[in-house]
Amino acid sequence: MVIDIVGMLEESFNSGIEEIKQAVAERDFKKIKEMVHPLKSNFYYFFDRNSEFGAKIQEFENKGKNQDPFMLDEYCKIFETNGKLTLEELKEFTSHF
């Protein structure tokens, strides 16, 4: 079951990241919030929401919610980079099952 959940998270992340990046470029705050929220929730199954990356995802979502453009591009890059790294670690972990 964990393997299936990781696969679904990877699929959701990979299919949504370009749209999130486009929303950031267009400063479409509503779309940022709507797209980051479910991914954040799914990532939280695998790491503590109070971890450094967990906090950054919440801050990224809040930027959409609060229509805050400050460092929005940087938060998007952090989300993309750390999301990919986390998925690679999860795939490596689940490959041992």
Using one digit for the tens of pLDDT, what is the confidence trace for 10-68? 999 999 999 999 999 999 999 999 999 999 999 999 999 999 999 999 999 999 999 99
Helix (H) or strand (E) segment spanning residue 86: helix 72-94
Domain boundaries along the sequence of the chain: 2-94
* Confidence grade of residue 96 (pLDDT, cut at 50, 70, 90): confident
CA dist 58 and 61 (Å) reads 5
pTM comes to 0.93
* Confidence grade of residue 97 (pLDDT, cut at 50, 70, 90): confident
Token pair, residue 33, equals 């919030």
Fold of 2-94: Four Helix Bundle (Hemerythrin (Met), subunit A) (1.20.120)
